Structure formats: C-alpha cells, structure tokens
Amino acid sequence: MKTYTYQRSRELFEKAARLIPCGIYGHFSPAPLIPPDHYPFYAEKAAGSRFTDVDGNEFIDYMCAYGPMVLGYNHEGVDRAAAEQLRKGNCLSAPSPVMVELAEKLVDTVAIADWAYFAKNGGDVTTYATMVARKATGRNKIILIKGGYHGVAPWTQGYGHHGITEDDGRHIIRIPWNDIPALQAAIDQNPGDIAGFMACPYHHPTFVDNVMPADGYWQNVERLCRQHGIVLMVDDIRCGFRLDIRGSNEYFGFKPDLICFCKAIANGYPISALVGTDAIKNDAAKVFYTGSYWFSAVPMAAAMATIDEMKRIDAVGLMLAYGEKLRDGLIATAKRHGFDLKVTGHPSMPYLRITDDPSLMLHQKWCGECTRRGAFFTSHHNWFVSSAHTAEDLALTLQIADEAFEAVKKQS
C-alpha cells in the first residue's frame, strides 16, 4: 500500500510559522500529531467521510473536524439550506425568523429544554452557563471534574498555563470523576457558596482512557444539586447529538438545568447553543452576553437542516452501529498481530490505546502508519465517527490497520 508524503503541507507550515503565532494554533496544531512526518497539516477539500490534503492525499476522517462533521462534509441538504438563507441574508441589523424557528426545534428536540440561546463556540455557552448559575444562586463557586475540558476561557484553565492568573480559578473547585463523596465534601466545605456543577456526560479527557459514569452517579449528582440548590450543567459540546438526539443526559437518565451544545448541531457551520429549563429562564435573560456574529442566520438554517436530517436517517443509530463495527474490527485486527487494543468511551466517539506500551509511543506509531496510508487516526484524543462513514470506509480502514500493525511490528 502506498504511503503518503506531505511536501506542500510542510511548505505552507513554514510560511505560516513566519506569519501566525504557532503557525497553526490551538487544537489543530501539529504538536499532538506524532510522528509529525506521518500527518498532513493542511486540508484542501472534503466530501462525505473523507478529506483531501494539499498534497492530494485522501483520508477517511476519524476526527470529523474535531466533531462538527456529523452528517458528512458538504452535506447537500445542509448546504442547500444554508445557501437559501444566505440569499435572504446572514448578518442583518435584526435577527432573522430562523432564530425563533431553531429555538422551537431545539425545545421540541431536547427533552429538558424550555428555551434556547445561541452563540458561536462551545466555550461561549459553557461560560454563559456559569454566569447564569451564579445569577440564579447569588453564589460564587463552580465545581468541575479534574481533567475535564470546557473551552479555553481563563476560568477553564488551571493556574500555571500561560496567560492564566491564580485569580482566574479562584472560584473553581475540581474533583475527581465518579466521586460522589468528593462532591459532597466540596459542598460541605463551601456552605451556601456552590453556584453550579458542570461536567461532560462521560469523562473523555485526552491521553487517558475514557470513563463512563458509574451506576447511579448522575442520579446522585442530581440529588445533591437539588438538595443544595446547585445549578446542574452538562457540557454536551462533544457528545451532544451523538449519544441521544434528546441530549446525552437522556442516555444516562438524569435531568440537568442547563445543557451546552455545539459541535454536531449544524454539521460544521459555526453555532453553539445553551438550552435550559423554565425555572432558570429569567436568570438567563438578566445576564448580558452577546457577540458580533451570534445572530448570523446561515448557521441557524444549517442547524435546522442538520437536526431534521439526523432525525430522518437516525444518525445516532448509524453512528453507533458503525462505531461498534469499527471497534470490533480494529480489536480483532490488533489481536491477529499480537497486540491488545483497548477501546473506551461510546462507540461513536471512541478512545483507543494499545496497552502493550504504556508510554503510548507504540500507539502513536500505529496511528501514524494508519494515517500515512489513508485512515486519519490521532493518538491522544477520542475519535469521532459520522453517519457518512460507509461499509467501504470500514473495509478499507481495517485493511489499512492490518498493514499498519505489520509495519510497527517490523519497526519494533
């Protein structure tokens, strides 16, 4: 099987590094792509489940643009809805009717939602949620899970990260995942001052195995929040619409006060949403929060089309079925070569790790060998599958994985 080279990507990156801090910043940075000579840095185009880089190499994409691509790149129905709205108008001097229509659709779709509020990024709505919780309770402190990710606002990052002061995290308390005694202790140690608890539906940090909630975990969290008047917030940015179209909380059987959505709700068009219950609606209305493009109508039209299409084709079920076949096929392929591949997390957002080398270097080599053969695998982050992945993608992925295992065996 031919292995890829990336001359044009490297030339672009060298130019970018002179013009842009880090060349490529944030989570799209080449830094986590190890070995770096096995990965492309720039994409030229995409369609369905695949993208093509600037060197003409095609990849079956298992990052899905870090989550937003849920129906496939350049989805005809979503793009048509966006184009029709663009002809009417996008950023106008007043909101478009589609904003009200989308709010109604989210209220009809997400089980706990009585209202919806729109922004651009996941971090916009996680920050807004904490402000609403503080307004609703008149309290200061927010409880988060150690290793959890809720964006890049200063309150989400720990002291010691560049540009972060100790005061930025003064009212943040971090406790371990699945640890109800730790939650109880945090409440007891800060009587009457816990405004909110925020966590993802299940624990999916980087570099380590993902962990599902223990039996009764979320129900006990909900019980303690209700008992102590704490606003329960779910960061459904990554899992949202991949576990359950009604909200991931329904998958795990509990009722939060606020849910943050972003990645999957508009198939790549920039929009995020905070939804909540009636009990907290007036508090949300009193928090001043906005942005220059938060009323843009094109992403709202795309979100309408995305949600309708996800329901029509049962996208959640398709992603689950594909993810299960991918998981089982990769584990079996690894076993044939004498490797133990551990897969954690939900099948539509799996995290993989070859356990034969706890340093992750063996796993990094295998992901790199797969990528340079056309299956875009990253080694440190959970993957994403979409409803656009096909049986042909699966067969080729397993063929690539098989050859990549053979390659790393020869290197070791």
User: Three-state SS string across the chain, please?
Assistant: CCCCCCHHHHHHHHHHHHHCCCCCCHHHCCCCCCCHHHCCCCEEEEEECEEEECCCCEEEECCHHHCCCCCCECCHHHHHHHHHHHHHCCCCCCCCHHHHHHHHHHHHHCCCCCEEEEECCHHHHHHHHHHHHHHHHCCCEEEEECCCCCCCCHHHCCECECCCCHHHHCCEEEECCCCHHHHHHHHHHCCCCEEEEEECCCECCCCCCCECCCCCHHHHHHHHHHHHCCEEEEECCCCCCCCCCCCHHHHHCCCCCEEEECHHHCCCCCCEEEEECHHHHHHHHHCCCCCCCCCCHHHHHHHHHHHHHHHHHCHHHHHHHHHHHHHHHHHHHHHHCCCCEEEECCCCCCEEEECCCCCCHHHHHHHHHHHCCCEECCCCCCCCCCCCCCHHHHHHHHHHHHHHHHHHHHHC
pLDDT tens for each residue of 194-204: 999 999 999 99
95-110: pLDDT as tens digits:
999 999 999 999 999 9
Can you give the pTM of this predicted structure? 0.97
pLDDT tens track of the chain, all 412 residues? 899 999 999 999 999 999 999 999 888 888 788 888 999 999 999 999 999 999 999 999 999 999 999 999 999 999 999 999 999 999 999 999 999 999 999 999 999 999 999 999 999 999 999 999 999 999 999 999 999 999 999 999 988 999 999 999 999 999 999 999 999 999 999 999 999 999 999 999 988 999 999 999 999 999 999 999 999 999 999 999 999 999 999 999 999 999 999 999 999 999 999 999 999 999 999 999 999 999 999 999 999 999 999 999 999 999 999 999 999 999 999 999 999 999 999 999 999 999 999 899 999 999 999 999 999 999 999 999 999 999 999 999 999 999 999 999 988 7
CA–CA distance, 347 with 350 (Å, rounded to integer): 5
Query: What is the residue-averaged pLDDT of the chain?
Result: 97
